[in-house]
Structure 1
Amino acid sequence: MRVERLGRDKIRVFLTFDDLVERGIEKEDMWRDIPRVHELFNDMMEQAYEELGFEVSGPVAVEVFALPAQGMVVVVTRGRPKDHEWMDDQDEELYELEVTLEESDQVVFQFDDLEAIVQAAHRTLPMTESGMGRVYMYEGRYYLALDNECGTSAFDDFIAVLSEYGQTTTTTEAVLIEYGTTVFAEDGLVNLVRYFPA
């Protein structure tokens, strides 16, 4: 489980499939109101408090993004607490969860710099028969948007290698197209290898 802050009232939690399996949770359980999911949420909030000082009570919006081969990304946005909530120590912290789930066959990887995405392309291109992916630059980072084009088990291996160089992100391709710069609109891996030889 990895936690990062997105803003004053928003955090992002990356859950691997191992995190879910350890707790006996299936992907489909994430939008069910069951004790195991509540325990997972409490664990996430505890880690967010310990690592980021992020504390929640009251209304919380939870967005769950299921990523192929990678697990899930959970974005938690807290509502503004009313003044009396800070004053009343008798109240237990209660979460009012509003959960939405999105699932996609597409995955977007974020890379810190050009060298990282080029190295990833050289490692992964031989694993696929297609050029795969679109490459974007946005806010100083590089992004590779991928569709599952090579079958489930092969895609899992492919994603595992990419994870050595970058990380999945909840930034959507629509955001990258609108606000970023399109580097390669198609055949991203092929073009990275072609223009940046090892």
Structure 2
Amino acid sequence: MRVERLSRDKIRFFLSLDDLMERGIEKEDMWRDIPKVHELFNDMMDQAYQELGFEIAGPVAVEVFALPAQGMVVVVTRGRTPSPSDLDDLDGDDMYELEVTLEESDQVIFQFADFEHLVQTAHTLQRIMGDGGKVFAYQGQYYLVLDTDMETETLKQAIAILTEFAEPSTITEHVLAEYGKTIWESQAVGEIVRYFS
């Protein structure tokens, strides 16, 4: 489980399938109100506090993005900070209120901080999955968007390669197309290999 700060009141976790399996949690369980999901959330908040000093009390928005064949990204946003009198009314089990939304995508989107990493990844990916994909530039990062309509084993191999060079992203293709710059609209992996061999 990895955690990173996105802003003062927002953090993001990446949970691998192994993280979920260790706790006996299926992807579908994430939106259910069951003890093991509460326990996972408490572990996540403990890690966020220890690594980032991120404390929560009061309302919290939780967005869960299921990533095909690799786990999920959980974005936690703090609401208003409760006053001391609000805290007096809470017992230990009610330190925060959760508002959970779940989204599942038929794409995997990875962000690269360095164009050279994208080029290296494309050369390896082409041998496994051919020439597909789209590439966008947005806020100083490069984004590779792949549709997941490929064999499960091929998808798993592609994701394993991608995680070596890039981070999974929760930004949607719509946001990238609207606010970013489209570099390759199709066959991106093949085009990168052709231009940067």
- Give the TM bin, normalised by the shorter chain: over 0.9
Aligned to 1:140: 140
Contact 2:57/2:82, CA 8 A, preserved across alignment:
no
1:140-159 equivalences under 5 Å are 140-159=140-159
**SS, match of residue 182 in structure 1:** strand
Aligned to 1:175: 175
Structure 1 pair 182–163 and aligned structure 2 pair: CA distance change class (3 A): same
Any idea what the Cα deviations from partners look like across 1:93-146, whole Å, max 9, x if unmatched? 5221111110111110001111000000000101124x2110011111111011
- Tell me, in whole angstroms, the C-alpha distance in 2 between the residues paired with 1:168 and 1:86: 37
Structure 1 segments of 4+ aligned residues over 6 angstroms from their partners: none
**SS, match of residue 164 in structure 1:** helix
**SS, match of residue 164 in structure 2:** coil
Task: Please report the TM-score for the alignment, with normalisation by the length of structure 2.
Answer: 0.94
Structure 1 pair 8–85 and aligned structure 2 pair: CA distance change class (3 A): farther
Matched length: 196
Percent identity of equivalent pairs = 62
- Tell me, in whole angstroms, the C-alpha distance in 1 between the residues paired with 2:90 and 2:137: 49
- Tell me, in whole angstroms, the C-alpha distance in 1 between the residues paired with 2:44 and 2:85: 22
- Tell me, in whole angstroms, the C-alpha distance in 1 between the residues paired with 2:62 and 2:176: 23
Aligned to 2:53: 53
Contact 1:132/1:149, CA 8 A, preserved across alignment:
no
Structure 2: which amino acid aligns with 1:15? Answer: L
- Tell me, in whole angstroms, the C-alpha distance in 2 between the residues paired with 1:6 and 1:37: 23
- Tell me, in whole angstroms, the C-alpha distance in 2 between the residues paired with 1:87 and 1:135: 47
Structure 1: which amino acid aligns with 2:173? Answer: E
1:165 and 2:149 equivalent?
no
Aligned to 2:33: 33
Gaps of 5+ in 2: none
Aligned to 1:118: 119
The alpha carbon displacement at 1:87 in A equals 7.0
Q: Which moved more, 1:20-29 or 1:79-88?
A: 79-88
Task: Please report the RMSD computed on the Cα atoms of aligned residues, expressed in angstroms.
Answer: 1.6
Structure 1 pair 85–3 and aligned structure 2 pair: CA distance change class (3 A): farther
Structure 1 pair 90–189 and aligned structure 2 pair: CA distance change class (3 A): closer
- Tell me, in whole angstroms, the C-alpha distance in 2 between the residues paired with 1:184 and 1:87: 52
Any idea what the Cα deviations from partners look like across 1:32-83, whole Å, max 9, x if unmatched? 1010000000000000001111000111111100001210000111111232
Higher helix proportion, which one? 2
- Tell me, in whole angstroms, the C-alpha distance in 1 between the residues paired with 2:169 and 2:61: 19
